[in-house]
Amino acid sequence: MLRDVTLDVSEGEFVAILGASGCGKSTLLRILAGLETADAGEVLIGDRRVDALPPKARDLAMVFQSYALYPYMTVGQNIALPLEMRRMSAIQRIPVLGRIWSGAARQAIAADVAAVAAPLGLAPLLARKPAQLSGGQRQRVALARAMVRSPAAFLMDEPLSNLDARLRAEARAEIVALTRRLGVTTLYVTHDQGEAMAMADRVAVMQAGRVLQLAPPQELYDEPASLEVARFIGSPPMNALPAHVGEDGAVMVGDVRLPWLSPARGPVMLGVRPEGWVPAGHGIPGVIALIEHLGAETLCHLEGGAVLRLAPDAARGMLAGQALRLAVRKAVLFGPDGRRLPLQAALREAALG
């Protein structure tokens, strides 16, 4: 169930709709496509209201998680189908066009198919049937079929979820490059935050039928609008530490004074990304419970659940059970209702941690 969802997407923009299973992201996409009907509200494409129009009248191309390819058609025929359907519709309206259907029109369709197939690596596969393709190749055919007719917008519902990690990374780069080149508005549903953050101009984070925040990827990461968003975005997610704002506006974690002031007073939560704090001589105390060496980075899991991200050299010599102090270099503050609060740098004489 969707609850008071408002989503305004600019022409040519790539917006990812991100959320866990059951949050309503696919329902939202299906309402836009006309496959489901909303109980209230409007759907507009440009300045045209379309919520009363059938799917075929909305000029939207949808790509599903399932490939939905016709098994008896070749790859080329599957890709060409939207163009042929459009041409056949035109012939029915204007019978004289039927005389050029087997000539110039068919050549134009073949050229369009070739143009979209090449960058997706499908040119050598145009004569094959879907049963002769891998899962990744089938998904690329479904993408090509959606892209070939240059619709008003692409609606993509978890299109890469059936691909392995390597193919997924390749395919997402291809999708972004093609949509940029075509300049077509794209709404892309995914549960994979890495995919959303890498591909989209803006990301809409959904939870329980609501859009929690719609913002560029870096803004979502650095300035989450709420504790819900902060805990959802990032891997590992943002650490949330109980804190307190005194009468002088100073932000305190226990008896440690941090280098920020806030107009709030009383109990708050301090949000710190794993890379937002560093070991120091003075600061917030912690004890290492577990160390993960991941090659390019090292994650130190602290007792209580917080996580510290370090470069491998900075983590060298650290051991489980070791006590340390952490200076906070970058943070976000949240109120008792979970919403982000203003936070400003204090004077430099306030000790860092």
Domain annotation covers residue 9? no
Domain annotation covers residue 106? yes
Q: What is the pLDDT of residue 351?
A: 39
| Average pLDDT of adjacent 10-residue blocks, the chain of 353 residues | 89 95 92 89 88 87 81 92 68 43 72 85 91 84 84 88 77 82 90 94 96 96 96 94 94 93 95 95 94 94 95 92 94 96 71 40
Domain annotation covers residue 352? no
Counting the structural domains of the chain, the total is 2
Same domain, 165 and 233: no
What is the CATH classification number for the domain harbouring 262? 2.40.50.140
Residue 328 near residue 302 (C-beta atoms within 8 A): no
Same domain, 298 and 336: yes
Same domain, 179 and 247: no
Query: 233 by DSSP, 3-state: which?
Result: coil
Structure tokens at 219: 């803004």
Q: What is the pLDDT of residue 142?
A: 86
> Of 202, 227, 252, which residue is a domain's last?
227
Q: What is the pLDDT of residue 347?
A: 53
> Of 227, 244, 279, which residue is a domain's last?
227
Name the β-bridge partners of 341.
333
Domain annotation covers residue 313? yes
Q: What is the pLDDT of residue 116?
A: 84
Give residue 108's domain range.
14-227
Same domain, 295 and 192: no
Same domain, 104 and 85: yes
Same domain, 189 and 50: yes
Q: In what order do the strands lie in the sheet with 60-63?
A: 60-63, 153-157, 185-190, 14-18, 202-207, 210-215
> Of 227, 261, 286, which residue is a domain's last?
227
Same domain, 160 and 307: no
